[in-house]
Structure 1
Amino acid sequence: MGTEGCCQQQTDSETTSKLVLEAGHNSNDRCCKNNGSRETAETEVPFIPLTVDENDVISGAKEILKVIRSHWDLSTAEFKIFTDGITNKLVGCFNKTPQDDNNTSQNGATDYSKNVVLVRVYGNKTDLLIDRKAETRNIKLLHSYGFAPSLFATFKNGLAYEYVPGVTLNPESVTKPEIWKLVACRMADMHKVSQDNGLTIPSSTRESMLWKKVQSFFDLVPERFSDADKHSRLEKTFLPISKIRNEFEMLYKKLKSLNSPLVFAHNDLLLGNVIYTESLSQITLIDYEYADYNFQAFDIGNHFAEFAGVDEVDYKRYPSKEFQLNWLRTYLESYLGTSQVSDEQVETLYVQVNQFALAAHFFWTIWALIQAEYSTIDFDFVDYAFTRYNEYLSKKDQFLSLDTNTNSLS
């Protein structure tokens, strides 16, 4: 979901796959490494004291390019606004007159992968949901480990960053063995990252972001929505908000008792935030707005919940037990660094993941309620809140009854 919205699968990440078609696919122009090793070089990211008008993002993008791509001829540059996002706006900036002559791909098509900048302009009030300083820090940190694209610049209400060649996942591709195994290993590698270079948080004082973030979300949900129709639709189910606050508190107590490890998690691994570069057999994770320490099982459970898709949500796509056990074994082999993973370890993680999937539904339900009040994008956030919350209610008893002896899913 993230600040690209519950249709983020159609946002920055899917935009990347669209850029592949328009800008060419250069498998050698790659920003991330698969081994998660730490790059030592640190690059200072410039801050541009500019606020981009969300109604005129191209003019704003040009001002940013004057700073970070001063050699571009903006009179010939092309700009494309991607309208699929429902909380942020994204513009692709294409340098049509690259300085070097090596600008054709193997098939003879023009390759602009070295001459593309993505400029993301934050949506209205999304700063209420996201710690933007933490987001910038996370991108820089994870890029240094080879996980995130390069961050070229930040400005008052957005950032400019690197294009990553590849295609984003969809409900069909995410179940292919050659892809899901890479995703499992990539997530495991990320979960082994720890903040350092002055950002270290001692393990004894680390806390999950889940409780604090959801409580802050609750605080942002109005008791009366400014739109009377929205208020009427939401009133019986979600208002007063104290009703579902209590529900989440009971759920959280249950989940915390599972003792899922705290890891540095992405927390928003919907399919559109996973880019697959086939030529390199490589997975890149993007959009780190919610990255923070969290329960390991939340990150995985949230990812599994996103198998349902976004355009046409279908929770029949939620992965079967057989699929999950294979996925989780691959994940644990990478996370633990051993092929000697026991059935008991896999089964334990299976129970944790499915129960934390409930928390993922809850998380994005409250997120959607906030968007319903503040977002200026034409999207039915109220309907999305109902979609996620109804799935939570539908699976609540089944998932919470799981244990390592009776862990079956229909």
Structure 2
Amino acid sequence: MSVCEEHLNITIDENDIIVGAKDIIKRIRPTWPLQQLHFKIFTDGRTNKLIGIWYTGHCTDMILVRIYGNNSDLLIDRKSEIQNIRILNKAGYTHCIYATFNNGFAYEFLEGETLTIETVKNPKVYPLIAKRMAEMHNLEFENESISKDAFIWGKVKKFMQIIPKRFSDSLKQTKFEMLIPSYAILKKEYQLLKSTLSKVNSPVVFAHNDLLLGNILYNQKQENVVFIDYEYTAFNYQAFDIVNHFTEYAGFDEPDYSLYPDENFQKKWLKKYLRIYNATTNVSEKDVDKLYWQVTKFTPLPHFFWGCWALIQSEHSHIDFDFLEYAAIRFNEYFKWKEEIFKMKTEFDE
């Protein structure tokens, strides 16, 4: 896989993405016959818009064009995202980029099925996810421009600075007041999370930070998984990346948190992970128990993080999705887990 460094001075109108996608194809695939182009608009995304383009008889050579969502640069460092994809492509972990443009990029299509709430627990699939995550967490960097500090606290702090305090839409404002904790409460919870979880001493690793089901492709023929969408990839706590993935077992559109994996499943998953992460077949039960404790301690944080994210999206996104309702669901889960976990004591607690 090779990376093309070309940047195109093109801005795609998110309301007319087929026309914009054609402009990209003219530049990066000038031999493709425009009258034979086919387009597939993907509707799973909650931040960006995505379209696939190929021409008759060449569907395996599809090019994906991602158009950044409205004001999504408030949430995402786009330069870091592109840099991360290039790093991981060089390591053989993900797709290559064909070109960037003013509000998005065009990249390679990879074959595979996105996961479902059933397949993510498949015994053939989950060890592949654990393995790939461990490999990613073990990546080493000589690039001094990449911060090796855990990104989560700075990112949440930034989110909290820009979450809406009021909505101009009166119906949205009423819903906001009914469903969402006050800013003062959220600020207090952020301080509590930071002071508590910083003491867990989870290793800081190169983490994906957004391993929801739609960001993992399973290729049955090749018996591998590929992670996609590196918008939040950065150095972060190992335990956050793992537990963030576990919380996504609930699904996205109508999350069902009864699907959160139980202790037995998590420990099997973590044992597979530690074999790769520690480069040993001899993983002790104590090692598994310690990582399980760290992961469990971090369980409230993804809910808080994505709750703040959804509040920002509710103000700025043009995507048809009830982000306020989603924020309420995530904050409810946060408070539920916080009560359960912060009173829990084990041999690993101070």
- The answer to whether 1:137 aligns with 2:97 is no
Q: Could you say what the CA RMSD is over the residues aligned between the two structures, in angstroms? A: 1.7
Q: 318, 323, 327: which is aligned to 2:269?
A: 327
Q: Which amino acid aligns with 2:89?
A: H
The alpha carbon displacement at 1:398 in A equals: 1.7
Counterpart of 1:57 in structure 2 is: 17
SS in 2 for 1:79: strand
Counterpart of 2:337 in structure 1 is: 395
Superposition map of 1:262-301 within 5 A:
262-301=204-243
- The answer to whether 1:342 aligns with 2:284 is yes
Counterpart of 1:85 in structure 2 is: 45
Counterpart of 1:258 in structure 2 is: 200
Superposition map of 1:44-123 within 5 A:
44-96=4-56, 98=58, 112-113=59-60, 115-123=61-69
The answer (yes or no) to whether the contact 1:297–1:356 under 8 Å persists in 2 is yes
TM-score normalised by the chain length of structure 2 = 0.95
The alpha carbon displacement at 1:71 in A equals: 1.2
Structure 1 window deviating more from structure 2 (210-219 vs 83-92): it is: 83-92
Counterpart of 1:34 in structure 2 is: none
The answer (yes or no) to whether the contact 2:202–2:237 under 8 Å persists in 1 is yes
SS in 1 for 2:11: coil
Cα deviation 1:20-42 (Å, max 9, x = unaligned) = xxxxxxxxxxx6xxxxxxxxxx6
Superposition map of 1:9-408 within 5 A:
43-96=3-56, 98=58, 112-113=59-60, 115-196=61-142, 198-199=143-144, 201=146, 206-235=148-177, 238=180, 240-405=182-347
Counterpart of 1:37 in structure 2 is: none
Partners of 2:122 and 2:3 in 1: how far apart?
37
The alpha carbon displacement at 1:226 in A equals: 2.2
The alpha carbon displacement at 1:234 in A equals: 1.8
Equivalent residues, number: 349
The alpha carbon displacement at 1:324 in A equals: 0.5
Partners of 2:293 and 2:170 in 1: how far apart?
41
Partners of 1:406 and 1:192 in 2: how far apart?
24
Q: Which runs of 5+ in 1 are unaligned?
A: 1-30, 32-41, 99-111
The alpha carbon displacement at 1:199 in A equals: 4.4
Cα deviation 1:313-337 (Å, max 9, x = unaligned) = 1111100100011110110110010
Partners of 1:404 and 1:133 in 2: how far apart?
41
TM-score normalised by the chain length of structure 1 = 0.82
The answer (yes or no) to whether the contact 1:73–1:97 under 8 Å persists in 2 is no
The alpha carbon displacement at 1:79 in A equals: 1.1
Partners of 1:240 and 1:316 in 2: how far apart?
27
Partners of 1:218 and 1:329 in 2: how far apart?
35
The answer (yes or no) to whether the contact 2:299–2:337 under 8 Å persists in 1 is no
Counterpart of 1:107 in structure 2 is: none
Q: Which runs of 5+ in 2 are unaligned?
A: none
Percent pairwise identity: 46
Partners of 2:21 and 2:310 in 1: how far apart?
28
The alpha carbon displacement at 1:164 in A equals: 0.8
The answer (yes or no) to whether the contact 2:135–2:276 under 8 Å persists in 1 is yes
The alpha carbon displacement at 1:364 in A equals: 0.2
SS in 2 for 1:120: strand
Note closer, same or farther for the CA distance 1:44–1:81 as it changes in structure 2 (3 Å cut). Answer: closer
The answer (yes or no) to whether the contact 1:72–1:97 under 8 Å persists in 2 is no
Cα deviation 1:356-385 (Å, max 9, x = unaligned) = 121000000000000111112221111000
The alpha carbon displacement at 1:240 in A equals: 4.0
Note closer, same or farther for the CA distance 1:97–1:306 as it changes in structure 2 (3 Å cut). Answer: closer
